[in-house]
Amino acid sequence: MTAQQETAPVSAGRGEPLVVLSDVQKHFGQLHALKDIELTVTRGEVVVVIGPSGSGKSTLCRTINRLETIDEGTITLDGQPLPQEGKALAALRAEVGMVFQSFNLFAHKTILENVTLGPIKVRGMKKEAADTKARELLERVGVGHQAEKYPAQLSGGQQQRVAIARALAMEPKVMLFDEPTSALDPEMIKEVLDVMVDLAEQGMTMIVVTHEMGFARTAADRVVFMADGAIVEEGTPEEFFTNPKSDRAKDFLGKILKH
Amino acid sequence: MEAVLSSFDEYLKAFALTIGLFLVSGLLSLIWGTILAVFRVGPVAILNKAAAVYVTLFRNTPLLMIFIFMAIAMPVLGYNFTFVEDWEIAGYNVSAFFVRSTIALTLYTSAFVCEAVRSGVNAVPLGQAEAGRAIGLTFAQSMKLVVLPQAMRAVIPPMTSVQIALVKNTSVAAAFGMAEAVATMRALTNNNADQRTGIFLAFAIGYIIIVEVVSLSSHAIERKVKVAR
């Protein structure tokens, strides 16, 4: 708990490196999925990772809480290298919030229980305190009145907002979003993005893999463009969208922006 | 039938023993089989291999051989389990035969329970375990709190079959000095050869009742977990 309290004013220490990937390599059999990845995300920064499908951006996102292992290189969170396994790894994951493309809410638990499970079982919080906090978070993401329902009874957009609340309940140092709106109907994308923009404005450190260029333009501090497992280009959204340097990025933007 | 009615006490005692064998080895096999399944899907390579070898060994061996091993080979090796005869549970002396039989039945049935649970675990989407790990649950916690409760839903039908097979497999104990249903039926038919059909029917009905209770309970559990989602 103390680690959380220290970071409670999230803007404190803004600008210090929080997540550092150095010379990261990852292979899936023959496929070189991540090539020479060098990426530093500072506290309070919102980094949006974009790129064509199969470019390794989801894999990159998943290596940061070690849902994917890496073959070479190092990843550090707040100066500490990621533990290999066991309790230490579980403790690290508690510090890293993750939101999945397919929500992955616990299907057998109510919305409230989904949000309180981590605080109770991992942080050792009392049930009453965890409930109160969970209800606040659910209120904040706009699904407070759904607390007693089961995930299957909610729309995709609502489920994804619950998933964000579930991650926030752990008071993470950084939030990873792995294509959080890709499985949503168009009219539900906005409600999820709104929650994410709010979070960004409150100073949460965020790494967001997405195809939502609008979100990248408005909320990102930096855009990282990946192709074929490598980081090809990075810069401010303004720079990247108006004046991409690499041909690969020009080609990609040409394809998605011309409609 | 008359022979059964006139020795109804024995009939009830016989089925009580059958039920006793079933309940004890059923419960133990559920526990041990689930632990084996967790080993099978877990990240520790050695436990994974060990559980796989266990399943291969016990699932592919006839139950009768395991009984023979427990009843004949183990005592030769010095494990006759007679020490349990000093124990007393609820006023009854524990018999070494009973303990050997339940061990044999548990060892055998656990292999099937393990595979049933494993099929249920595989039916739970991978994202559930990932989400559990992502909020900081350890492997054991994510199994216990997230994966197994959902796996159980898919496991109930195959698990019911495994447990029903166990009810009937208790009859193998008849060959090893247990006066359970089949052994008692054999004794009764020996003494009343003219009433064989009736005696058979009476014991068949006994088994049918037990199995129906098992399968009705399984339906009830299935309905209950279906609602809770």
Structure tokens at A209: 């893999």
pTM value is 0.81
Does B145 sit within 8 Å of A117, measured CB to CB?
A: yes
pLDDT at position B32: 97
Taking CA atoms, B87 is separated from B92, B100, B102, B179, in Å, by: 8, 15, 16, 20
Q: Does B150 touch chain A (CB under 8 A)?
A: yes
Contact list in A for residue B150 (CB cut-off 8 A) is 107-108
Whether B137 contacts A122, CB under 8 Å: yes
The verdict on B149 touching A (C-beta cutoff 8 Å) is yes
Per-residue pLDDT of chain A (259 residues; tens, 9 = 90+): 444 444 444 445 677 899 999 999 999 989 999 999 999 999 999 999 999 988 999 999 999 999 999 999 999 999 889 988 788 899 999 999 999 999 999 999 999 999 999 999 999 999 999 999 999 999 999 999 999 999 999 999 999 999 999 999 999 999 999 999 999 988 899 999 999 999 999 999 999 999 999 899 989 999 999 999 999 999 999 999 999 999 999 999 988 876 5
Question: How many CA atoms, within 13 angstroms, populate the side-chain half-sphere of residue B118?
Answer: 20
Tell me, what CATH number does B147's domain have? Answer: 1.10.3720.10
Residues of A in contact with B137 (CB under 8 A): 90, 117-118, 121-122
- Alpha helix positions (H), B69-195: 74-76, 96-123, 126-134, 139-142, 148-169, 181-191
Domain interval for residue B152: 2-228
Please give the pLDDT value at position B197.
87
User: Which position has the higher pLDDT, B196 or A145?
Assistant: A145
| CA–CA separation, A109 and A131 (whole Å) | 14
Contact B136 A117 (CB under 8 A): no
Angstrom distance (rounded) from CA A163 to CA B75: 58
Task: Give contacts of A150 with chain B, Cβ < 8 Å.
Answer: 228-229
Question: Considering its fold, how many domains does chain B have in total?
Answer: 1
> Which residues have C-beta within 8 Å of that of residue A190, sequence separation ≥ 6?
none
Instruction: Please tell me the distance in Å from B139's CA to the nearest CA on chain A.
Output: 8
Element (H, E) at A226: strand A222-227
Residues of chain B with Cβ-Cβ distance to A113 below 8 Å are: none
Please determine, for the modelled complex, whether the ipTM score is greater than 0.90: no
